[in-house]
Amino acid sequence: MGNTIASLATSFSRIWRQILRWELNQTWTTKIWKSIWSLEVPNKYKNLVLRACRNSLPTKQNLTQKTIIENPKCDRCSLQVEDSLHALWSCSGLDEVWEGDRWSFRTREVFADFKELCRWIIENGKPTKLFTIQVWAIWHQRNKIRLNQPCFLTKDLQQSAQEYWNEIRINNPMPDRVRPKPQPRWTGPPPNKYKINYDGTISNTNNTSGIGVVVRDCHGEVIASLSQQLDQAYQPVEVEAMVACRAVELSSEIRVDCAIVERVIRN
């Protein structure tokens, strides 16, 4: 009986972690989509990057899988299968396009697919606009070569993308990041109700997470609060789930049964 319960607990834990991983992946897919789409560059650049993230470009790998062509090997290097990541980023024939300090991580970081590359670039504050322009230039040139049409030489792609990026920066001096959204102001609950705000933090450096909950009345007075340090750096969705549960528990402990629960809003 004990073994059966232990086995069930293990299975449940594994399934729960799979759900959390799936949710985290969905969260990141949405975040990448929003980050790319909010960039102030023409839609053709953003569309191409998002298509590459969805693996919907007509790469030689995709065309081979649809039995349209037989050879999936990249035309630039003739060595590797041409998927989105290879065609736009990792092919050795693109070394000249991605050379320079800002792209030096190309020789260190390994990515499973193009979406993972985009995620890394967004997370690490790399110039995302320039990235989308260079990606478009590479794909555009690749298609021109396949059609035997005149195009930039590979060695000139980085320079041409850089010049266009400079033009965009002169016309729009916003930082090359996702445009910050205005923070909504905290509003109090209606009379005779309470508002429970919660938030969580993760420190990968210290391998810890933290959660915090504050309960306020309709005048904004703090009725109760708690903060707690957790013993490891959990995933964001795990922290969010734990702090949301703790917020509901706290409202029960202090017998607040008429409350609005929401993530914290910083004024």
Residue 188 φ/ψ region, left for φ over 0, alpha for ψ in the -120 to 50 degree band, beta for the rest? beta
The smaller minimum CB distance to Zn ion, of residues 18 and 92, is found at 92
Interface residue with Zn ion, options 32, 41, 48, 74 (CB under 5 A): 74
The DSSP bridge partners found for residue 261 are: 196
Verify binding: residue 142, Zn ion, rule CB under 5 A.
Answer: no
Of the candidate spans 15-23, 74-82, 104-112, 223-231, the one that interacts with Zn ion by CB under 5 A turns out to be 74-82
d(CA 188, CA 169): 41
Of the candidate spans 31-39, 87-95, 125-133, 214-222, the one that interacts with Zn ion by CB under 5 A turns out to be 87-95
Interface residue with Zn ion, options 49, 50, 53, 91 (CB under 5 A): 91
Tokens of 71: 């050879």
The smaller minimum CB distance to Zn ion, of residues 74 and 247, is found at 74
Helix/strand/coil for 148: coil
The smaller minimum CB distance to Zn ion, of residues 76 and 119, is found at 76
Interface residue with Zn ion, options 77, 233, 241, 254 (CB under 5 A): 77
d(CA 205, CA 35): 25
Interface residue with Zn ion, options 76, 119, 129, 216 (CB under 5 A): 76
The smaller minimum CB distance to Zn ion, of residues 88 and 91, is found at 91
What is the closest distance, in whole angstroms, from the C-beta atom of residue 121 to Zn ion in the complex?
A: 20
Q: Do 224 and 254 touch, CB atoms closer than 8 A?
A: yes
Q: How would you class 27 by CB atoms within 10 Å of its CB: exposed for 0-12, middle for 13-18, buried for 19 or more?
A: middle
The smaller minimum CB distance to Zn ion, of residues 74 and 133, is found at 74
What is the closest distance, in whole angstroms, from the C-beta atom of residue 51 to Zn ion in the complex?
A: 19
Binding residues for Zn ion, total number by CB under 5 A: 4
Interior angle at CA 91, CA 116 and CA 44, nearest 5? 60
Give the residue ranges of DSSP H helices in the chain.
2-37, 43-53, 60-65, 84-85, 114-123, 128-146, 154-171, 236-253
Binding residues for Zn ion (CB under 5 A): 74, 76-77, 91
